[in-house]
Each structure stands twice: as structure tokens, then as C-alpha cells.
Structure 1
Amino acid sequence: MQSHWHNMLLFTHCSLVSLFLLSFCASVMRSSPVALADAEALVDTQVLGAIVIARHGDRLEYYQDPETYEGGRTETTALGEVESNQLGSILRSEYLTPTSPSYIDGMRSDLVDNKEIKVRVKNGGEGTVIFDSAIALLQGLFPPNPKNKIVLANGTEIVAPLGGYQYVPVETVEPSNDRSLESWTDCPAFEKHIKEFYSSDEFKEKEKQAQPFFKSVKDFVFGRPTTLKNAWNLYDYMNSQLTHNQTYAYRLPPTLLETARGLADFHETGIFSDKESGGIGNIAGRTMLHTILKSLERVAFNGDPLQFELIETAYQPFISLFHELEIVNAHPELKAIPNFASAFVIELRRGGPPDVRDFLRFRFKNGTGSGFKTVYVYGTHADIPLTEFIFKAKGGEIANNRQWAKICSDSSLTITEQLMDEVSFAARHQTLSTVTLALVAFLSLFIIRNVFSRVAKVATQKYKNVRGKSVRLEGDEVLNVDMTSAQILPDEKIRRV
């Protein structure tokens, strides 16, 4: 018996050592890339691909419930389509023009190669506005080209309609089956976060300061609640009317819209951010992170032709990503709603000799009236190595609907599920350091489970020897598992336009 317990203690000791090694490896691997990243010296970098997160263009008024963020109806406008088309033309000049310093090496620019580009469009709140904006952007990115033609067997030459219009496949992502692009609705934990923000001292103080504005704006919002909770809807209505209603534009004092925008920025930043990295307030950016990481994996892999991905969405992921990636620490001006047709671009670049690793450069363009500005993530002041970004971003990533459902139900993944996620991630990225970390984690889990299993077996056997029979509680055993959150949901719908 003493020998048995001695073996048990030995197993326990090994498991603790394994856990220590796990912690040590994780800390070393997360810190070592920073020491290696002398990206300040990067001069000659080759752009391998780009991921573009774009906000839709102008639209009519869009109401959002301040408590749940369920949206109302709205429609796109000709102005919005022009804005998105202009953004597409700018992206073309930046990434598809061989003379540009940001030209994506080897990507075809005259005629679209559908293997090289992927487009995902949020198809939830704001209805068709985001889809329309994506189509307008693609028209600017790949304008009509008379080379888009075929020759029939009889020698007849057929040019595509509209002088060679180029058709690009678009994936529409509905929140009913994929939460990656709209994760903040129907989420109880996020609604709890909203209520906590409304009850905070910061919110109450701001509301108190804003009372003079709320009194003066009543005549310009026509019965809409003049409260800080309704700040987004007040600003969006005023901004839409100022753009499309000439009579309203002549009557509205200029300072009122500026103040409304400031309050809306405060409101939306408070809702779609969190004091903690990986917090529920950043859920809009955390689900977007999975799409980003998955796309970077494809672009970085030489055997995959993907070089450009467009993600057309609303404003919420911008705010969350800027907080989750710690961009706002150096750029507090980004604690705000991005303008229509804004773009956040992640460039995958390969360094020149002697450091030929892959790096990421982040650029932001706030609407059509400004140029691209380079921003930095996680406190860095240069391009960040791809491996370092993956390690840091993975901690906040929400990778699938099942994980989203658990987070939204205010529960967390078990230790086993978290460690299995590490192994799965390592297998996908096939990096030695990640595989090592995941294997150490899995080994530790295996040893611990083995120890507990042996202890339980000994205890059970001892109890059987004393009692002579096993004890069973009355009633049926019930496995408490939410099967709806564990279902494998269908892929996104695909439209060809």
C-alpha cells in the first residue's frame, strides 16, 4: 500500500513539473518574439497579401435598441455606393498597382482571379446596405475591363456586360448560422455588459454633464428620447437628416451635431470595448480575430493562392479591434465611431535579408476624406512579427459558434476544452513552438487525469471492500449539456454577383 501511494505521489510530482514547464514555455514563447523583433530596421519588405476590413458607405437613418442592439430598417444611398466605390479605387491603387510600395507581389490586377480574392459580407443588422457597399467597392477594386471576354467556337468575340464588368463571388454571413461578423446581438453576457456600463459612475457623470445639450436638441429630434442611453440614435438621425434633408440642414445649429457625435463616440466606445483584453465588451473584435487569423494562415502558406480578403461590415468591430489590439493606447482618437467607407488593412509583409520572417503592418483610413495612417498593435512601434501577433491575438480569439454561445451564456470553457483548442490551433499552424506548447499542455492534462483516475479507483475499491456493494443515488442520471450550442452549423451562403 505504501508503494502504491509512493507511486501516486511520484505521478503528482511529475504533473506539477509538467504544469511548471507549460507555464514557463508559454511565457518564454510569448516574450521571445519581442526580443527578436527589431522591426525598426525593416526597409525592404515584400507585401504578400492584405486583409481589408471595410465599413459600409452612407445610408438612411438606422435605429438600434440601446439595451439589445437589435436594429431597425434602413436603405443604402447613391452617396454610400459612391463612397464605397471610391474606397475600392483607392485600395486598387494601393495594392494592385505595380508601382505602389504596397503592391501585392504577383497578384493579378487587370482581370480578377477568384482564387486570389475572398469576400465576406455581414448580412445581419443594416440589411442590404453592407452587401450593396461591398459590390460598389469591388467595382472600384476591379473595374470593367474589355479583356473580360471569351471567343466562341464560331469565332464570335463576347465581352462581358457594361464594357467587361467583373463578377466576384461574395459570401454573405448571416448571424443565424455564423456569429463571426455579428456577435453582439442575442448575447445575454453582452447585454449584461451594456447594463453595467449604463450603471457606472462614468456614464452617470457624462449624462449629468450632457443635460444642457439634451434640452437644446429636443426641437431637432422630433420626440426621440433625449438621453445618453439613446446617444447613438440621436446622432445617427441628426447626421442622416443633415446629409439628405436640405430644410433640416438649414435649421440645425452646427455645434449640436458636433456635440451629438462626441456623446455617440463616448456611448459606443463604452459599449464596444472592455477594460480587460479578451473581455466581453470586445466581443465584436474577438470574433473578427478568428477570421483574421484564419486568413493570415492562408496568405502566409505558399501553397494557397489567396492574397486579398475583403470583410465588409459595420462600425462595431473597428472599435472593439482597436481596443483588443491595444491600438487606442497610442491613438486615443480612435476611441470613436469610424466614418462611412473607413478601412482597416492588415498587410502581410516578408522582411528582406537577413531577417526574412513574415511581419504584419496595420493601416487605417477614416472615411473617404483621409489617407491611410500606419498604426501599431500591442504597444509595438514597428511592424510586428506574424508569430508574435498570433500568440498574442489567440488569447482573445472566439473561434466558433460553440465558444461564442458559452461566452454569451456567461459560462467558460473547461480546462480540457481549452487545452484541446491549443492542440487544434498548433496542428493548424504547424509551428514547432506552438506544437511544443500544445503537446506539453496535453501531456500535463493526461498525467493529471491519470493520477485522479488512479486515486478514484483506489478509493472506490476500498469503499467496495468495506460496504460490499456500490451506492447509487435515486433517480435517472442526467447529462447537463446544451446540445444546441454544440451543433455544427452550416457554412455561409454564397452569392455570385
Structure 2
Amino acid sequence: MSSDSNSTVLGVVLLVRHGDRQGFYQDPNTYAASATSITPLGNAQEVQLGGLLRELYFDGSSPSHIQNMNTGLFNDSQVLIRADAGDEGGVIYDSAISLTQGLWPNTTAWNTTLANGTNVVGPLGGYQYVPVESVESTNDVSLEGFTSCNTFNTAISAFYNTTEFQQKVNETKAFLNELPPYLDGRPATLVNMYNVFDYMNVNNIHNANFSKTLPPTFLAQARDLANWHEYNTFTSEQLNGISNIAGRTVVPSMITGLTRIANASDPLSFMVEEISYKPFLSLFNMTGATAANSSLAGLVDYASAWALEVRQPSSGGEPVLRFNFKNGSDIFRTYAFLGSTGDVPLSTFINTLAPSAVNTTTEWCGVCGNNQDRGCGALAQASAAAKPHQRISPVGAGFLGAGLTLAVALMAFGVLAFLGVLTFGRPQRRRAVKNSKTEKGSGDADSA
């Protein structure tokens, strides 16, 4: 189907990658990562992205203006922001904070008049405190479904033992043998390729001496190999394949957000999930976007954003989705997905992805073969202690932070024609913004 140029934007669900950070290391066999820190450049990239999104979706003169979005002060009922607070320390959460500063900048309109007539403007020139839900990976797998997933680790090992991988090792041996002088002791192997590229990339951005001595083609060559390595690690041909686990756990919250936005009685219009690069790879693969656009088969840069716009066609009928993606400092571009060259019905997205979604912690524990970590141990004990046929309570099952159960997703199929009566509950917020970091800078891009 073609895209309707006169369709109205009802709202948008955004997946955003964090900004520039310091170097770190992630185990190439398990993807357990060491902590790192965001940089001033990373903060600036996210503020800049937030400003762009504000112009695109909140400005009444923009053709992509969200129909009922409040263009002035932050309105809590219209917005939901979640951030992965997992193995990369506070980088992703801090990025979400900076993003909100660009989306809702300081304004003297944030003020109050006291009974004595005194007008008080909010601190820091009217800084708007935007709640961000911190998704802690130890008890919520929705934004980081790939760590501590035993079956995924097994799939990684299997990939390293394939004929394809061994052929790639042989093809790249000469290049990898040239890299040790630029890696400060890190193994120059194809298995370790992401860490190789990340070290080179971080130092190329922040270390002037390194940038001057690195041969001109080496970073691009390393990136190309890292793209190949990571895409093959985080994608499966089958939608429910274990290598898609990074995307399968994000799908429920995406469906929740999209369906709520399409519901005329729900005020939600703008949802952001701040994440690492891994879910992007899986979800681009699962939606068929990579098959239609080979440029998406690789790492996404710092401060990249995937916008799924919920649009109402000018001819009426079911809401449709438009796939727009901005890779780092690039512009937003519209991509084909789910076998279509234009907008895709919301029901098609749900019908295609909901069956492969991992909706609860209990389900994740089973899919990942884990009975010990991330709440699985408590669930296993509860199951063992339960009477025959006794069901685990919803609390014990540990619903994902903003997840949508598969049952609710399936119910949505039959009621999309009656969106005016479709309702969903809002997830709880866990943490509110308390700090302000408003440095500006260039939009340098990177990947990790």
C-alpha cells in the first residue's frame, strides 16, 4: 500500500539509542557488560535529538505534528518514557534525561503565582522535571532480554562454530593481525570484534593521538566486521528464534504504546524507550525492514531514533504505522517494512509480532532456560511449592514494566475497529528527573 500524505499523526512510539559514552567491555559469549559513563558529547547529542523531535512532533506548523499533543508545558498524561538501567551503568538512563531536556526545554511558562501575588518561575530558568521510568534489568527483562539468557548464549556459541563464521575468520585474518598495536592488549579476533571496534571508535572520537595514528581505513573495516558480527548474533530467520530475544521482549511494550495511542479515549500520544543497539537489530529483522533495506543490517549510531508513527488515514478506517529512522546525525528517512512499500495497518504489526513476543518474566525464564537469575529463582521456588494446577499470581509472574500480555494483544485484533472503547492501564513510573545537564555539542555518532 502507498503512504497517505494527508494522514494525521495520532502519536508516535520511539526507540532511541543512548548517546556517546566512555569505552567499556562486553563478554562476546554472554554479552554481560562492564559499567561505563556518558560523556558531555553524549548528553549534547541527546539534547539535540530531543530538540529535533520537538520540532517534528510538537510544533503545530510541522506536517508531522501530533494531532492532540500539548505543544507547551510537559503533560504527564500524554507521555511515557522508559530507559534501560542495565549493564551499561547509567548511560542509557542519563541519555533519556538529556533527551527530555531537548523535548521540553526550560521555560518561564513553568511558574506559579502565590496567594500574595508573587510569581515564582521554576528553578534553572523554568526547568521541566519529566518522569523517566528506570527499567532495572534485575527484575524487568523487557528492555534487556538478552543478558543471562542461557539459550541465547548457546546460540552464540553455535554461531561461532558455523562454517560461515570460520570462513569469515580466514578472510579477515590478515586485517586482524594488523590491529594489535591499536588495541591496548585487547584480543584482535573476530569473536571479539565488537570490543575491537568499540575501543577503536571511542578513542578515535576522544583521543587525538590515537585518531592521528590510526590508518585511514582501519575504523571503517572494523565497523564493517562488527556490523556483520552483531547482526548475525542478534537476529534469527524465525520470528520466535532465540537470537531475536533482544527484540522479542521489547515487542509487548511497543504494542501497548501503539494501541493506546490509537485509542481515542486514551491521552497517551508520545512514548519513548531508551535502549542499547541490540533490540534495534532484532526488531529491524523481525519487521522485515532489513530485508527491504540492507543499510539497516548493522550497528546503529549513538543517539539514533526509530519512530513508529501512528497515523489516521484521510479516508478513515484503521490507523496505520509509518517507519521512520534517523541513524545518528543523519536525517529521518522513511523505510519499507512488513512487506509493504508504504504505511502498514496497525493490526498487521500486531498480528505479525505478537505471537513471537515474550510477555512475562515467567515466559522469559522458560524461553531462556534460566531458573536462577533475574527473578527466575524465586519463580522456580514458587512453582515447586505450588499445589498441582495452582496458578502463579500475576505479581509472582512478574509482568514486564510496560509489557502487554499476549492475551491482551490478541484481544486487540478484534477491537481495532472500535478503538474508541479500547483501554489499557498505564505502567508505574519508578524515578523522576532530578538533575539538569544542558551542554550542547556536535552530533558525532558511534555504536555501542
State the SS of the aligned residue for 1:254: coil
* TM-aligned CA deviation for residue 110 of structure 1: 1.5
Structure 2 match to 1:457: none
State the SS of the aligned residue for 1:431: helix
Please say if 1:97 is aligned against 2:97: no
- Could you tell me which amino acid in structure 2 is paired with residue 377 of structure 1? F
Structure 2 match to 1:403: 363
Q: Is the 8 A contact 1:112 1:166 kept in 2?
A: yes
Q: Is the 8 A contact 1:285 1:321 kept in 2?
A: yes
Structure 2 match to 1:366: 327
Q: Is the 8 A contact 2:321 2:343 kept in 1?
A: yes
- Could you tell me which amino acid in structure 2 is paired with residue 198 of structure 1? Y
Structure 1 match to 2:415: 431
Structure 1 match to 2:111: 149
* TM-aligned CA deviation for residue 146 of structure 1: 0.7
Moved over 3 A (4+): 421-430
Structure 2 match to 1:386: 346
The TM-score, its normalising length taken from structure 2, stands at 0.85
| Counterparts of residues 447-466 of structure 1 (less than 5 Å) | none
Task: Encode CA deviations 1:423-444: one digit per residue, 9 max, x unaligned.
Answer: 544446652899xxxxxxxxxx
Structure 2 match to 1:301: 263
Structure 1 match to 2:70: 108
Please say if 1:494 is aligned against 2:431: yes
Please say if 1:53 is aligned against 2:37: no
Distance 1:181 1:346 in 2: 17
Gaps of 5+ in 1: 1-38, 435-489
Distance 2:352 2:237 in 1: 17
Q: Is the 8 A contact 2:16 2:305 kept in 1?
A: yes
Distance 2:167 2:370 in 1: 28
Task: Encode CA deviations 1:404-434: one digit per residue, 9 max, x unaligned.
Answer: 11110189xxxx99xxx76544446652899
> Cα gap change, 1:264/1:170 in structure 2, threshold over 3 Å: closer, same or farther?
same
Q: Is the 8 A contact 2:3 2:343 kept in 1?
A: no
| Counterparts of residues 50-129 of structure 1 (less than 5 Å) | 50-129=12-91
Q: Is the 8 A contact 1:329 1:379 kept in 2?
A: no
Q: Is the 8 A contact 2:130 2:432 kept in 1?
A: no
Distance 1:309 1:208 in 2: 45
Higher Rg of the two aligned structures: 1
Identity %: 38
Q: Is the 8 A contact 1:56 1:134 kept in 2?
A: yes
Distance 2:167 2:289 in 1: 26
- Could you tell me which amino acid in structure 1 is paired with residue 82 of structure 2? R
State the SS of the aligned residue for 1:237: helix
More helix by share: 1
Task: Encode CA deviations 1:76-97: one digit per residue, 9 max, x unaligned.
Answer: 1011111111110110111011
* TM-aligned CA deviation for residue 43 of structure 1: 3.1
Task: Encode CA deviations 1:78-121: one digit per residue, 9 max, x unaligned.
Answer: 11111111110110111011111110012112211011111000
Structure 1 match to 2:161: 199
- Could you tell me which amino acid in structure 2 is paired with residue 382 of structure 1? G
Q: Is the 8 A contact 1:58 1:83 kept in 2?
A: yes
Gaps of 5+ in 2: 372-388, 392-404, 419-426, 435-448
State the SS of the aligned residue for 2:222: helix
Q: Is the 8 A contact 1:177 1:492 kept in 2?
A: no
Give the total of aligned pairs.
395
- Could you tell me which amino acid in structure 1 is paired with residue 121 of structure 2? V
* TM-aligned CA deviation for residue 379 of structure 1: 1.1
| Counterparts of residues 268-283 of structure 1 (less than 5 Å) | 268-283=230-245
Q: Is the 8 A contact 1:349 1:359 kept in 2?
A: yes
Task: Encode CA deviations 1:462-487: one digit per residue, 9 max, x unaligned.
Answer: xxxxxxxxxxxxxxxxxxxxxxxxxx
Please say if 1:328 is aligned against 2:265: no
* TM-aligned CA deviation for residue 166 of structure 1: 0.8
Q: Is the 8 A contact 1:343 1:365 kept in 2?
A: yes
Distance 1:140 1:372 in 2: 17
Distance 1:52 1:185 in 2: 23
Structure 1 match to 2:307: 345
Structure 2 match to 1:216: 178
Distance 1:424 1:89 in 2: 34
Q: Is the 8 A contact 1:271 1:281 kept in 2?
A: yes
The TM-score, its normalising length taken from structure 1, stands at 0.77
Distance 1:372 1:60 in 2: 26
